[in-house]
C-alpha cells in the first residue's frame, strides 16, 4: 500500500499541491485525471522524490519515504515514468532496457537475455529496433521503451505520467493494456492522464484533480458519465 | 577669458542615486577601518607595516571591483591581477622608458589596464559564467609570456625601475601624497560598490546576470551589460595597478602572476561576495594576517588559502561577512516587514486614458506561418495568429502543443525557422528580444524572475529607463518608500507574479505576454490577478496575451481565445463561440461527444 | 621535410596528451556538470611520481608496478576530491560552488607539491624505446600516448555500452532526472567519473612525464589547454576532443617552433577567445544537450 497524507508540494516557493490525501493499492490502476496545470505531475514527482515534499507524508509499506532521495525511492520499488517518454536517447533500445535493472540488487537481477525476450514479446516493435539508438524511435515506441525499462526493475508501484501525450490514438490501447496487465499481476499502477475515454477502461479507481486539489475520487463505476467527468475536469468550460 | 556655459533648463540634471541606508552605514564603517588602520601605522612610523597596509589597500581596491563583477553582475574573473599588472606595466614604461609626464603615464596606465580587461572579457558578449573564468585565467597565465614576447619593448629581462617623485614627499608629518592617494582611492572604491549597488545600473547588472532572458525582455542587452561590468571591475584593478607603481617603483613580468588573481578572487569569495565589508575582511584574513603576523609560515600560505576556501564553501557559503550577518540576524529576532504588497493603491492610482477606437490600430500583433523545430521535434508547424489591440487574448492547448514556444517566438527568445512576426505594423521577425522589448513587447515567465536580494521596489525598477512616461509611474511613486523597505525574499509566490507584472508595466509596454501567470496562485489571487489585467488594459490601452492552463480563468477572463495543437493554431474565437465546441472538449479530455 | 614530419609527430604526440586531459574533463563534466580545475595537478602528480619512483625503462617490471600504484592512488584521490566538490553542490543552492572548490583543491595539491619538490621544474627521461621515423628517431612516449588515447576511447566506449554501471554513467550524462528515477546512484557514479578521469590523467602524466615540464605552476596550464581542446571539440564530446586535441597539439608545436615557447599561452588565449566569440558550441558541436 502506498499512502499519501496531507501532502503539499511545489517548486521553490510555489505550492502547487495543497493538503492532498491519496491511497494506491497494489493490483489496481489508479487513474488521476485533471487538466493541464492541475498538479498531476507535481504529485508524482513529490512521491518519487524529484521535488521536495513541503508538508505531509508519503508512506510505502512500513517506510516513510517523504524525505528520501529519488534514487532510493526507485530502489525501494516505486518507479516513476516521467511525462514525455524520457528514455535515454543515445542508448540503444536494448541498452535502455538493460539499464532498467540498475535499481535492483545483484541477487534480484535476471539474465539480460530473458528480460529482453520478455520485453520484445510484449512489444514486438521494440524487438525489431533493438539495435537502434532510442532517439530514432517514434514517440509511441519511446513510451513503450520507457515502460519496459521501468517494468524490468520489478517495481511494487509504477507511476505513468501521461503516456498518451503526443501519441497517435491507435497506439494508446496497447500501452494502457500493458499497464492493466501489470496491475493484474499485482503491481500498483498510478496512471496520470488528461484524456478520459480510453484510460477509464483500464482503471479501477479515479481521482479528479484540479488546481492542486482533489475534486472527486472513487471507484471507476462512479464515473461512467464521461461528459460530466469532462465538465468536472474543465470547470465552467462546458455547460453543465 | 572665461566662457560660461549654462545647462539648458529643460534637461534634468543627472543625480547620483542615494545610497541605501544599510549600505551607507557599512561603507562608512569600512572606510573608517581603512582610515584608522593606515593612520595607525603611519603614526607608528613602522615602514614595513605601512607598506604592507598600503598594498593591502591596493588589493582592496581591485577586490572591490571584482566584488561588483561577482556579486552584482554574477560573472567571474581570474584575471583581475593580470589587469592590475597591465596598468602597472604601462605606467612604469610610460614614466621610465618613454619619459612621459606623470599625469599622462597614469592616464595611459588606466587606459591600458581597462583595454586588457575588456579584451579578455570580450567573450562575455557571447557566453557567461565559468567560460569567462577559464578565459580570464588563460589571460592571466598568458600575460607574463606576452611581456617576454615583447621583451625589447617591455624590458622584460631586467624589469623596469621607476624613480621616486613628488608623490613620495610628505604632505604633513610622515603622510605622503601617495599614502593619501591610496587611502582616498580605497575609500572611493568602497563607495563605488555601495553606489553601484544602489543604482539602477547595478540592478540591471544583477538581472542580466541572474536571468539574461528576463533582462532582454526588459529591453536590456545582457552581453553589453556583462562587458560594462568588466569595464567597471577593470577600472578598479587599473587604479590599483597604477598606484602599485607608485608604491613599489619596480615591475617585472613575474610581479603579477595568476596567484595574485586567485588571491583576489578568494578575497571576495571568502570575505563575503555582495557585501561592502566582505572584501575588506577578505584582505585582512588572506593577506594581512598571513603576510604580516604569520610571515614565518609563508610557505604554507597557499595551503591555508585552499583549506579556508573549502571550509567557507562547506560551512558559510556566503562568506565571512555574510555568515556573521546571518548569525546576528538569528540572535536578534527582528520583526520583518510583512511580505505583502497591496495592489490596491497602484491600481486605483492609475490614470484612465481614453484611447478612442479610431486612434489605435485594430491589429497589434500578427504571426504568420511560423515554424520552429528543435532537432527532430517540430514544436511549431505554421502557427498563425492575430491579436487585436486592447484585448485580453489567451492561448490554450494541451501539453506539448507548442504554446510556450509560440510565446518565445513572439517575444524573440527563439528565432523561428520560417514565417513572419509583425508587431505594431513592423516586421520584427529578425529583431532580437531586446529590440522587441524596446518596441513595447513585454513578457513574464512561468517562474517569476524575482531577485530575492532586492527590495520590492528595486525589483520593479530594474529595467531600461522607459522613454515614455509610464502610466503606472505616478502611482508607483506613491508606494515607493514603503515597497523599498520590503525585501522581495519575503514575498509569497503569488505576490512575486504581481511584482513581475508591475515590473514590465513600468516599461509601458504595448503588449504584455504572460507565460502561465496563474500557476501556483490561490483562487482569490487568481481573481485579483484578472482584475489587475483588466485595469491595465483599460487604463493603458495595452494588450495582454497569455498562455494559460487554467481553463476556468481563461473562459471567464479572456476576450479572445486561440487553441493551439500540434504546433498550429487550430481554432480561434470568443469564449462563447468556443464554449460549445465538441472539438475543444475532445482535445482536452479525449471525450467524444455523442449526438443525441 | 624531415623537420615538418618531426613537428607533426611531436604535435600529435603532445596533442594526444591534451586530448587525454580533455577527455578526463569531459568525463566529469558529462556526469556532473563540473569542470575540474584540479585535473592538471593529477597530471603533474603522476609526473612527480615517475620522477621519484619509476625505473628508467619499461623493460623493468617495477615500472609497471609503479604505474599501477600511481593510477590507483590518483584515482582514489580524484574520487575523494569529487566527493568534496559535489557535497556543497547537493546541499546549497549555489550550483557554481564547484568553481571555488576545484580551484581550492588545485591550490592545495599544488601547495603540497611546492612544499615537497619546491618550485623547480623536474625532468624525467623517456622510459619508452625510440622508434624510427623518416631517417631519425622519435621518442617512444609520443607513440605510447597516441596508443593510450586510442585505447581509452575504445575502453570508455565499451564500458559505457556493455557494463551496467557504464550504461548508468552514460545515462546520467543524458538525462539526470530520468537516471535518478531509474534508481541510478548519482553521487556514487559521479565519484566514479572523477576516479576514472583521475586514472586517465594519471596514466597520461606517467607516460608523458618526459614531455611535460613537471612543476606545480604548470598544472593550470594543462587545465587551460585541456579546456580549450574540450571547447573546440564541443563540450562533452570525446571524439571531438580527440580531433581537436591532435590539431591543437600540432598548432601549439608550430607556434612554439616559429615564435618560441613564450607564444604558446598567448596563442591559446587567442584561440579560445576566437572560438567562444565565433562558435561557442565548438567546431564539432555538442553530442547532445544534457538534461538537468
**Dihedral angle computed from the Cα positions of residues B399, B405, B411 and B412, in that order, rounded to the nearest 10 degrees:** 170
Q: Specify whether the CB–CB gap between A177 and A160 falls below 8 A.
A: no
- Burial class of residue C161 in the structure, from the number of CB atoms within 10 Å of its CB (0-12 exposed, 13-18 middle, 19+ buried): middle
pLDDT at B2: 43
CA distance B306 to chain C (A): 4
Mean pLDDT, residues B490-508: 86
Mean pLDDT, residues A133-159: 93
pLDDT higher than 60, residue A238: no
State the pLDDT confidence band at B197, using cuts at 50, 70 and 90.
very high
Mean pLDDT, residues C118-142: 86
Mean pLDDT, residues B396-417: 88
pLDDT higher than 70, residue A60: yes
Q: Which of B175, B144, B583 is nearest to B398 (CA)?
A: B583
Q: Which of C107, C39, C82, C117 is nearest to B304 (CA)?
A: C107
What phi and psi, each to the nearest 5 degrees, are found at residue B591? -80, 130
CA distance B485 to chain A (A): 21
Q: Which of C254, C222, C269 is nearest to B146 (CA)?
A: C269
Give the residue, B575 or A116, on which the prediction is more confident. A116
**B414 CA to centre of own chain:** 22
State the pLDDT confidence band at A100, using cuts at 50, 70 and 90.
very high
pTM here is 0.89
CA distance C247 to chain B (A): 19
- Contact list in B for residue C260 (CB cut-off 8 A) is 149
Give CA–CA dist C66/C70, Å, rounded: 6
The 10s digit of each residue's pLDDT in B22-61 is 899 999 999 999 999 999 999 888 889 999 999 999 999 9
- Contact list in A for residue B550 (CB cut-off 8 A) is 35, 37, 211
Q: Specify whether the CB–CB gap between B501 and B532 falls below 8 A.
A: yes
Give CA–CA dist A113/A118, Å, rounded: 9
Mean pLDDT, residues B400-420: 90
- Measured between CA atoms, the residue of chain A closest to residue C173 is A88
Cβ within 8 Å, pair A88-C168:
no
The 10s digit of each residue's pLDDT in B530-576 is 888 888 888 878 899 999 888 878 888 899 999 998 888 988 888 88
Name residues whose C-beta falls within 8 Å of residue B53's C-beta, 6 or more positions apart in sequence: B37, B38, B41, B288
> Residue B199 half-sphere exposure, CB side, CA atoms within 13 Å?
16
- Interface confidence: ipTM more than 0.90: yes
- Interior/surface letters B30-69, b for 16+ CB within 10 angstroms, e for the rest: bbeebeebbeebbeeeeeebbebbbbbbbbbbbbbbbbbb
Interface test with B, best of C100, C259, C287 (most B CBs within 10 A): C100
- Contact list in A for residue B580 (CB cut-off 8 A) is 238-239
**Dihedral angle computed from the Cα positions of residues B311, B315, B321 and B325, in that order, rounded to the nearest 10 degrees:** -160
pLDDT higher than 80, residue B110: yes
Chains B & C: contacts with CB separation below 8 Å? 115
Amino acid at each position: 500500500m502506498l499512502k499519501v497524507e496531507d501532502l503539499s508540494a511545489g517548486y521553490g516557493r510555489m505550492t502547487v499541491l495543497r493538503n492532498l490525501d491519496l491511497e494506491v493499492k497494489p493490483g489496481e490502476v489508479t487513474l488521476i485525471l485533471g487538466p493541464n496545470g492541475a498538479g498531476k505531475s507535481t504529485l508524482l514527482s513529490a512521491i518519487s522524490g524529484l521535488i521536495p515534499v513541503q508538508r505531509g507524508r508519503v508512506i510505502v509499506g512500513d517506510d516513510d519515504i517523504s524525505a528520501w532521495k529519488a534514487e532510493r525511492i526507485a530502489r525501494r520499488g516505486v518507479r516513476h515514468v516521467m511525462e514525455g517518454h524520457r528514455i535515454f536517447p543515445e542508448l540503444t533500445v536494448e541498452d535502455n532496457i538493460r539499464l532498467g535493472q540498475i535499481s535492483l540488487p545483484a541477487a534480484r537481477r535476471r539474465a539480460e537475455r530473458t528480460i529482453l525476450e520478455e520485453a520484445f514479446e510484449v512489444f514486438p516493435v521494440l524487438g525489431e529496433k533493438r539495435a537502434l539508438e532510442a532517439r530514432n524511435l517514434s514517440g509511441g515506441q519511446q513510451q513503450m521503451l520507457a515502460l519496459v525499462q521501468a517494468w524490468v526493475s520489478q517495481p511494487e508501484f509504477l507511476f505513468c505520467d501521461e503516456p498518451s501525450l503526443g501519441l497517435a490514438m491507435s497506439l494508446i490501447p496497447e500501452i494502457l493494456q500493458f499497464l492493466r496487465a501489470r496491475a493484474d499481476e499485482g503491481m500498483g499502477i498510478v496512471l496520470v492522464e488528461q484524456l478520459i475515454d480510453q484510460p477509464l477502461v483500464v482503471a479501477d479507481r479515479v481521482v479528479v484533480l484540479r488546481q492542486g486539489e482533489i475534486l472527486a475520487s472513487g471507484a471507476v463505476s462512479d464515473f461512467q458519465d464521461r461528459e460530466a467527468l469532462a465538465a468536472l475536469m474543465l470547470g465552467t468550460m462546458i455547460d453543465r | 577669458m572665461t566662457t560660461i556655459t549654462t545647462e539648458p533648463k529643460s534637461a534634468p540634471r543627472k543625480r547620483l542615486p542615494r545610497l541605501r541606508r544599510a549600505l551607507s552605514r557599512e561603507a562608512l564603517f569600512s572606510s573608517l577601518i581603512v582610515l584608522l588602520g593606515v593612520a595607525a601605522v603611519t603614526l607608528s612610523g613602522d615602514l614595513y607595516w605601512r607598506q604592507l597596509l598600503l598594498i593591502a589597500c591596493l588589493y582592496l581596491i581591485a577586490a572591490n571591483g571584482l566584488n561588483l563583477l561577482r556579486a552584482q553582475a554574477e560573472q567571474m574573473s581570474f584575471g583581475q591581477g593580470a589587469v592590475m599588472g597591465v596598468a602597472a606595466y604601462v605606467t612604469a614604461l610610460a614614466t621610465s622608458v618613454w619619459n612621459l609626464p606623470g599625469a599622462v603615464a597614469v592616464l595611459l596606465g588606466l587606459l591600458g589596464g581597462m583595454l586588457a580587461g575588456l579584451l579578455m572579457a570580450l567573450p562575455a558578449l557571447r557566453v557567461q559564467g565559468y567560460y569567462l573564468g577559464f578565459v580570464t585565467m588563460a589571460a592571466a597565465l598568458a600575460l607574463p609570456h606576452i611581456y617576454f614576447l615583447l621583451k625589447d619593448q617591455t624590458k622584460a629581462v631586467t624589469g623596469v625601475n621607476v624613480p621616486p617623485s613628488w608623490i613620495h614627499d610628505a604632505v604633513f608629518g610622515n603622510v605622503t601624497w601617495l599614502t593619501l592617494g591610496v587611502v582616498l582611492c580605497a575609500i572611493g572604491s568602497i563607495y563605488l560598490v555601495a553606489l553601484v549597488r544602489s543604482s539602477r545600473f547595478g540592478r540591471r547588472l544583477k538581472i542580466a546576470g541572474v536571468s539574461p532572458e528576463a533582462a532582454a525582455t526588459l529591453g536590456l542587452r545582457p552581453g553589453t551589460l556583462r562587458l560594462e561590468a568588466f569595464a567597471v571591475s577593470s577600472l578598479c584593478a587599473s587604479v590599483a595597478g597604477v598606484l602599485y607603481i607608485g608604491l613599489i617603483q619596480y615591475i617585472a613580468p613575474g610581479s603579477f602572476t595568476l596567484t595574485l588573481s586567485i588571491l583576489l578572487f578568494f578575497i571576495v569569495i571568502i570575505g563575503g561576495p555582495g557585501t561592502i565589508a566582505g572584501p575588506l575582511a577578505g584582505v585582512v584574513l588572506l593577506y594581512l594576517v598571513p603576510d604580516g603576523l604569520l610571515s614565518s609560515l609563508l610557505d604554507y600560505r597557499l595551503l591555508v588559502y585552499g583549506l579556508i576556501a573549502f571550509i567557507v564553501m562547506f560551512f558559510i557559503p556566503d562568506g565571512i561577512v555574510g555568515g556573521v550577518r546571518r548569525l546576528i540576524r538569528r540572535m536578534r529576532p527582528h520583526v520583518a516587514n510583512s511580505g505583502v504588497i497591496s495592489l490596491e493603491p497602484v491600481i486605483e492610482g492609475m490614470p484612465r486614458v481614453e484611447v478612442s477606437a479610431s486612434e489605435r490600430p485594430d491589429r497589434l500583433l500578427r504571426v504568420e506561418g511560423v515554424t520552429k523545430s528543435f532537432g527532430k521535434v517540430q514544436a511549431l508547424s505554421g502557427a498563425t495568429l492575430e491579436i487585436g489591440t486592447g484585448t485580453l487574448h489567451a492561448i490554450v492547448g494541451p501539453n506539448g502543443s507548442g504554446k510556450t514556444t509560440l510565446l518565445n517566438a513572439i517575444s524573440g527568445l527563439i528565432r523561428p525557422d520560417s514565417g513572419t512576426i509583425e508587431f505594431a505594423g513592423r516586421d520584427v521577425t529578425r529583431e532580437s528580444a531586446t529590440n522587441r522589448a524596446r518596441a513595447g513587447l513585454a513578457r513574464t515567465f512561468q517562474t517569476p524572475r524575482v531577485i530575492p536580494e532586492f527590495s520590492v521596489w528595486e525589483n520593479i525598477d530594474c529595467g531600461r529607463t522607459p522613454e515614455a512616461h509610464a502610466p503606472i509611474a505616478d502611482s508607483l511613486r506613491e508606494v515607493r518608500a514603503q515597497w523599498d523597505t520590503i525585501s522581495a525574499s519575503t514575498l509569497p509566490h503569488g505576490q512575486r507574479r504581481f511584482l513581475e507584472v508591475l515590473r514590465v508595466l513600468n516599461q509601458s509596454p504595448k503588449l504584455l505576454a504572460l507565460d502561465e501567470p496563474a500557476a501556483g496562485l490561490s483562487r482569490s489571487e487568481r481573481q485579483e490577478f484578472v482584475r489587475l489585467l483588466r485595469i491595465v488594459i483599460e487604463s493603458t490601452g495595452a494588450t495582454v496575451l497569455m498562455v494559460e492552463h487554467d481553463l476556468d480563468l481563461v473562459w471567464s477572463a479572456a476576450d479572445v481565445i486561440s487553441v493551439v495543437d500540434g504546433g498550429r493554431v487550430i481554432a480561434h474565437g470568443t469564449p462563447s463561440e468556443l464554449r460549445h465546441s465538441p472539438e475543444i472538449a475532445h482535445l482536452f479530455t479525449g471525450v467524444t461527444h455523442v449526438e443525441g | 621535410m624531415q623537420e615538418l614530419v618531426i613537428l607533426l609527430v611531436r604535435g600529435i604526440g603532445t596533442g594526444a596528451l591534451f586530448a587525454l586531459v580533455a577527455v578526463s574533463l569531459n568525463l566529469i563534466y558529462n556526469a556532473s556538470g563540473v569542470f575540474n580545475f584540479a585535473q592538471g595537478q593529477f597530471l603533474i602528480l603522476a609526473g612527480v611520481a615517475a620522477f621519484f619512483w619509476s625505473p628508467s625503462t619499461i623493460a623493468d617490471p617495477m615500472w609497471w608496478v609503479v604505474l599501477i600504484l600511481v593510477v590507483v592512488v590518483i584515482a582514489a584521490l580524484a574520487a575523494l576530491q569529487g566527493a568534496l566538490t559535489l557535497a556543497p553542490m547537493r546541499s546549497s543552492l549555489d550550483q557554481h560552488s564547484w568553481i571555488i572548490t576545484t580551484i581550492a583543491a588545485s591550490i592545495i595539491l599544488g601547495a603540497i607539491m611546492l612544499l615537497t619538490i619546491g618550485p623547480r621544474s623536474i625532468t624525467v627521461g623517456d622510459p619508452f624505446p625510440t622508434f624510427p621515423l623518416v631517417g631519425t628517431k622519435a621518442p617512444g612516449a609520443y607513440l605510447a600516448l597516441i596508443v593510450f588515447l586510442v585505447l581509452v576511447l575504445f575502453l570508455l566506449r565499451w564500458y559505457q555500452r556493455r557494463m551496467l554501471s557504464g550504461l548508468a554513467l552514460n545515462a546520467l550524462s543524458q538525462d539526470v532526472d530520468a537516471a535518478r528515477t531509474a534508481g541510478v546512484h548519482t553521487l556514487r557514479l559521479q565519484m566514479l567519473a572523477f576516479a576514472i578521469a583521475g586514472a586517465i590523467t594519471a596514466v597520461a602524466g606517467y607516460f608523458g612525464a618526459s614531455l611535460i615540464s613537471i612543476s606545480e605552476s604548470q598544472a593550470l596550464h594543462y587545465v587551460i589547454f585541456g579546456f580549450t581542446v574540450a571547447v573546440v571539440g564541443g563540450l562533452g564530446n570525446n571524439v571531438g576532443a580527440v580531433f581537436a586535441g591532435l590539431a591543437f597539439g600540432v598548432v601549439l608545436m608550430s607556434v612554439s617552433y616559429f615564435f618560441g615557447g613564450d607564444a604558446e599561452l598567448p596563442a591559446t588565449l587567442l584561440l579560445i577567445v576566437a572560438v567562444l566569440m565565433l562558435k561557442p558550441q565548438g567546431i564539432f558541436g555538442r553530442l547532445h544537450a544534457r538534461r538537468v
